[in-house]
Amino acid sequence: MNWLEVTIDTSKQGLETITGILLQLGVTGFVIQDPDDFDEFLTYQGKTWDYMDEDVEKLKDCPTNIKFYLAENMQGQETFKEIKKTLERMKDSSEGADYGSLEMSLGNVNEEDWANNWKKYFKPFEVGEKFVIKPTWESYNENTNRMILEIDPNSSFGTGQHYTTQLCIEQLEQIIKPDAKVLDMGCGSGILSIATLLLGAQHVTAVDIDQNSVDIAKDNFIQNGMKQGQFALHCGNVIADEALVKIIGQGCYDVVVANIVADVIIGMKELLKDFLKPGGTLIASGIIGDRSEEVKEHLKSVGFTVKHMTEKNDWVAIMADF
């Protein structure tokens, strides 16, 4: 397997926050370069070393950054997109915090080239019991009773290859009814919204904090033959925007799906509950295994009853009723 080297430029203040985000997204190995550490080391080197190489001495002037590696495949591409999207959110809402530039670079590879190269790994594949996920640029001529969901994620999260997306689709297959009204929080490419409509939902409202994702989702709705009256799209941050919450509507959804990350689900637990009708169901994913019990307890604390939890490759999806 080939690996891609990724570097995030940050500040000393940002190190803990960024490493926490990486851990939530399943990146468990990284190298931190902090000039303060080298400076402290160099300050005391005279007491313990007879000689110090000039290249080592220069490290006290190095930038603060975090380096890690992603597999050069679809999983790596999905993780890269989610990290990039999270960093963009941090830039927009840092509220005075000094996180540094939060710029992300890819070894010796041009990001645009890598963003196109990943397509060679994206072929039609089956998910759950009812779907074939097919990229728009691929053909699919197999005889199947499964529904074909076409997707072009472009720069947005949501090819269907990530375990969290698959877990959500598998749970949606179990609960979507013909008259269901669905809310998709953090819709990305729109893949989960489209899946609910193909399963027979009456209407889906898709929300994302990133306008580019909302635009991509709209294109994918159209690609899959969805009519304008079947979906609504909104861009914004429901945690900070009360007007958007009113537009989306509270107490009117049979199903809410939130494939985000653990901290955001925890931060939105009251809102997620308020969006649901009494007796409605939440599907929450994007949760790394180590934090699944923590998320479960937070959901229970606001009145959710956890029905079951499913897991793939240390990623977890929680189905809970309100």
Residue ranges of the annotated binding site are: 165, 186, 208, 259
Detail the residues annotated as belonging to a binding site for S-adenosyl-L-methionine.
165, 186, 208, 259
- Non-local (6+) Cβ contacts of 51 within 8 A are none
| Joined tokens for residue 110 | 């041009």
Read off φ and ψ for residue 235, nearest 5 degrees: -115, 130
Burial environment of residue 160 by CB neighbours within 10 A (0 to 12, 13 to 18, 19 or more): buried
Residues forming a β-bridge with 288: 315
Query: CA 20, 24, 26 angle in degrees (round to 5)?
Result: 115
Count the residues in the chain: 322
Question: Computed over its alpha carbons, how large is the radius of gyration of the chain?
Answer: 22
Q: Exposed, middle or buried: residue 156 (CB in 10 Å: 0-12, 13-18, 19+)?
A: buried
Buried-exposed string 253-291: b where 16+ CB fall within 10 A, e elsewhere: bbbbbbbbbbbbbbebbebbbbbbeeebbbbbbbbbeeb
